[in-house]
């Protein structure tokens, strides 16, 4: 059974997020449950991945697999979301991810809507406000060896992000880099503005997780959804390669926990 978040924990998480741009919320998924969740997620990602092995990347993941659903509205996490965004928060994206053995380092970037390579974006210089909280649900341990995500503490306070053709090379190694580390069942949190990159996996096993982003109600999420007019007008008409979130079938939505449904109702395709 989930218990209310201790106010002191929420205060500490928010203070760390404000200072560093990232932190770890430990033990959200109980140890006895993590194995089944990990196996289910890994199988679905491998089946539906848009990237070839050793990577795995499955967008609109909740339509494909619901193993993570019981935890998405965990009180300890929602206490943080509520303090950041107030009433009526939503989940903007869910992605299943596998970083397999031997993958190389990726580009340094900020996430949507601050990624300046997206067509639907908040243009730099952008305001000092949290518009997406990125959560990394660790289904295996995240370590230096297996590619715990590279982050630059404090970079969320910059009003720009790395981009090709500028002085801030996305492939550069930056001073002050650290790697996000935690145990299976922990959830890494970071401000979408925080500069981060895929780290090489030098271990002999894949790093498995689900990336879930939370947003305030007032963010326009339609440019993320294939088939919408906003997606066509803003992204596709301009040859954009923005993230995408496929629709959630109504049949799947009806199976979700009652506390999760208000977070994803906007994704639902009533005809499916």
Q: What is the CATH classification number for the domain harbouring 153?
A: 2.60.120.620
Establish if 242 belongs to a structural domain. no
Q: How many residues make up the chain in this entry?
A: 272
Helix, strand or coil, per DSSP, at residue 83: helix
Report how many domains make up the chain: 1
Task: For residue 108, count CB atoms less than 10 angstroms from its CB and return exposed for 0-12, middle for 13-18, buried for 19 or more.
Answer: buried
Residue 1: predicted pLDDT: 47
**pTM of the complete model:** 0.96
- Range of the structural domain that residue 51 is part of: 17-218
Residue 99's DSSP bridge partners are 55, 207
**Structural domain contains residue 142:** yes
Residue 178 located in a structural domain:
yes
Report the pLDDT value the prediction gives residue 272, as an integer from 0 to 100.
63
Using DSSP, state whether 143 is helix, strand or coil: coil
- CA quadruple 51, 56, 57, 63: dihedral sign: positive
Mean pLDDT confidence for 178-199: 98
45 burial level (CB within 10 Å; 0-12, 13-18, 19+): buried
| In-domain check, residue 126 | yes
Residue 89 lies in a domain: yes
CA distance 144 to 140: 13
Asked if residue 11 is part of any domain, the answer here is no
Residues of the chain with pLDDT > 90, as a percent, come to: 94
* Mean pLDDT calculated for residue range 206-230: 97
Give the mean pLDDT of 81-95: 98
Residues 6+ apart with CB under 8 A from 112: 92, 93, 118, 120, 121, 132, 192, 213, 224, 242, 243
Mean predicted confidence (pLDDT) in 59-68: 98
- What DSSP line would sit under 4-54, residue for residue? PPPHHHHHHHHHHHHHHSEEEE--SS-HHHHHHHHHHHHHHHHHH-SS-TT
> Considering the domain boundaries, does residue 224 fall inside one?
no
Q: With contact defined as beta carbons under 8 Å apart, do 26 and 20 qualify?
A: no
Distance between CA atoms of residues 177 and 175, nearest Å:
6
Both tokens of 63, joined, read 């339509």
pLDDT tops 60 at residue 19:
yes
Q: Two tokens at 16?
A: 């760390």
Residue 148: burial class (beta carbons within 10 Å; 0-12, 13-18, 19+):
buried
Band the pLDDT of 4: cuts 50, 70, 90.
Answer: confident
The DSSP symbol for 261 reads H
Q: What is the mean pLDDT of residues 190-194?
A: 98
Q: For residue 213, is it within any domain?
A: yes
């Amino acid at each position: 059974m989930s218990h209310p978040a201790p106010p002191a924990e929420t205060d500490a998480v928010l203070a760390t997020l404000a200072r560093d741009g990232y932190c770890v919320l430990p033990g959200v998924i109980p140890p006895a449950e993590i194995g089944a969740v990990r196996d289910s997620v890994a199988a679905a990602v491998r089946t539906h991945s848009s990237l070839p092995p050793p990577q795995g990347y499955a967008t609109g993941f909740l339509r494909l697999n619901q193993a993570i659903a019981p935890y998405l509205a965990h009180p300890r996490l929602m206490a943080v979301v509520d303090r950041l965004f107030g009433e009526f928060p939503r989940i903007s994206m869910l992605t299943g991810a596998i970083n397999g053995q031997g993958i190389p380092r990726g580009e340094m970037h900020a996430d949507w809507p601050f990624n300046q390579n997206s067509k639907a974006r908040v243009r730099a210089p952008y305001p000092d406000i949290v518009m997406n909280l990125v959560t990394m649900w660790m289904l295996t341990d995240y370590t230096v060896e297996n590619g715990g995500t590279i982050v630059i503490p404090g970079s969320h306070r910059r009003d720009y992000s790395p981009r090709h053709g500028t002085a801030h090379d996305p492939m550069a190694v930056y001073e002050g880099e650290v790697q996000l580390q935690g145990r299976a069942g922990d959830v890494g949190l970071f401000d979408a503005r925080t500069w981060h990159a895929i780290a090489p996996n030098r271990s002999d096993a894949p790093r498995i997780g689900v990336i879930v982003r939370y947003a305030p109600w007032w963010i326009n999420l339609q440019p993320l959804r294939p088939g919408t007019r906003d997606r066509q007008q803003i992204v596709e008409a301009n040859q954009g390669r923005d993230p995408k979130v496929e629709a959630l079938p109504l049949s799947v939505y009806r199976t979700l926990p009652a506390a999760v449904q208000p977070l994803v109702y906007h994704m639902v395709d009533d005809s499916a």
